[in-house]
Structure 1
Amino acid sequence: MVPAARSTLDVALWLVARADSAGEKLQPQKLQRLLYLAQAHYAGSHEGQKLMPAVFLATELGPLEPNIYYLFQSGEPKMVYADPAATVEEFLMGLWDRYGPRPAEDLLTTIAGDGAFALALKAGRNTEVTTEIMSAGYGGKSAVKVRGGAKPSPEPSYWTPTGKRATKWIPGQAPRR
């Protein structure tokens, strides 16, 4: 299958630019985790299709796309990137709205419990987290077959725009204890 984006670098630079526009300096670990979540959610919602031509390895620090890791090792490269297609940009905006405000540690907690990453990490350090297993873990038809990670919480998580955890509140209803 043809990836939706031309390159992983285009997606990474788009995320860095989006973070800059939000007044945030995107740290390398957070970038790696956002790239992984982008690939996983895209595969899960597009029948296993890749968002970008990327390979993610399972490490103790979280998922790692080695090419982007080494390219950004000394800081953000000064390159011009191609704007993604409108559908890809819309997807990335939704991903940023969902995960952008959250700290890198919370992203790792989400990833560690997704089943796909946990299964790859269980197989050994630097094991590839395949698009097929990402698709299963993030909404594919065989999502229930992915084992090895913590089950997702039945209660959805709520976050403030500043990245702090919030609780659901309905006017007139007593808070849960």
Structure 2
Amino acid sequence: MPAAVDSVFELAFWYSDRALDDNEYLQPIKLQYILFLSQAYFAVAYNGKKLVPAIFVADDVGPIEPSVHRAWIRGRPIFEGDVKLSNDVRIFADSIWRRFGHHSAEYLAKMCQRSPCYRTAYQRGMRGEIYLEEMRDDFTRAHDTPAVEKVVKPKIMRSHKGKAVAVKAWMPRKVVVKK
């Protein structure tokens, strides 16, 4: 299944720009946690679809995306291109930022490290891959993390009568065939 964003760097730069808009410094490690939470909550909200084409691994400091981690090791790298995110992805990323952007890196580290998918990957070995299916399952249960309904706000539009209504893309339910 293709990812919603062409590159993990586009989302990383979007979050960096969003932090600057709020007059905040986005620590490189905090960016890692925000990206991890974005991928996990997107998988929950969109039935297992990937937000970014990236692999997250379990490191001592928490879940990281190795390419972004390497690029941001000394701060924000120089990027000449435009950040191209669809409107739906921008709304989603903004919801993640509004929910988690104000927390400290330490708080986000503890929250991410308590997630069962991180602990399972860490037990597989240093830099063990955190599988998207495990992320989706763990964040669906929402034991130590906020439920997706508290993170991703519904899109509000007006009905033909002018009433405000929450809308979302139609997702057909899975049909289980009994044998």
Structures share a fold, TM > 0.5?
yes
- The answer to whether the 8 A contact 1:4-1:51 is kept is yes
Q: Specify the SS of the correspondent of 2:98.
A: helix
- Matched residues in 2 for 1:74 and 1:102: separation? 21
- 1:115 equivalent in structure 2: 116
Check the 8 A contact 1:58/1:117 in 2, yes or no: yes
Counterpart amino acid of residue 100 in structure 2: Y
Structure-1 residue corresponding to 2:144: 152
Instruction: Report how far residue 7 of structure 1 moved.
Output: 0.7
C-alpha distance in structure 1 between counterparts of 2:66 and 2:144, whole Å:
28
Distance 1:25 1:88, change over 3 A: same
Instruction: Provide the C-alpha distance between the structure 2 equivalents of 1:65 and 1:55, rounded to a whole number of angstroms.
Output: 6
CA distance in 2, matches of 1:119, 1:75: 30
Contact 2:63–2:113 (8 Å) recurs in 1: no
- The 5 Å alignment of 1:55-134 reads 55-79=55-79, 80-134=81-135
Work out the CA distance in 2 between the residues paired with 1:76 and 1:15: 11
User: Contact 1:3–1:52 (CA<8 Å) still a contact in 2?
Assistant: yes
Structure 2 portions without partners, runs of 5+ = 147-179
Match of 1:32 in 2: 32
Aligned-pair distance for 1:153? 7.7
Aligned length: 145
Within 2, Cα distance between the matches of 1:114 and 1:125? Answer: 16
Counterpart of 1:11 in structure 2 is: 11
Q: 1:117 to 1:82 in 2, by over 3 A?
A: same
Shift, 1:75, TM fit? 2.1
Displacement of 1:47: 1.1
Mean Cα displacement is larger for which, 79-88 or 5-14? 79-88
Secondary structure at the aligned position of 2:6 is classed as coil
**Does the 8 Å contact 1:42/1:50 carry over to 2?**
yes
CA distance in 1, matches of 2:72, 2:114: 26
Distance 1:69 1:81, change over 3 A: farther
Give a deviation string over 1:119-163, Cα, whole Å, max 9, x none: 111222100001111111111xxx49xxxxxx4289xxxxxxxxx
Task: For 1:21, give the aligned amino acid.
Answer: D
Q: Partners in 2 of 1:25 and 1:78 — Cα distance?
A: 16
- Shift in Å at residue 81 of structure 1? 3.3
What value does the CA root-mean-square deviation take over the aligned residues?
1.7
State the partner residue of 1:163: none
Identity in percent: 32
Q: Secondary structure at the match of 1:138?
A: helix
TM-score, normalised by the number of residues in structure 2: 0.77
Structure 1: give runs of 5+ residues left out of the alignment.
Answer: 145-150, 155-177
- Tell me which moved more, 111-120 or 44-53: 111-120
Instruction: Point out the more displaced range, 69-78 or 47-56.
Output: 69-78
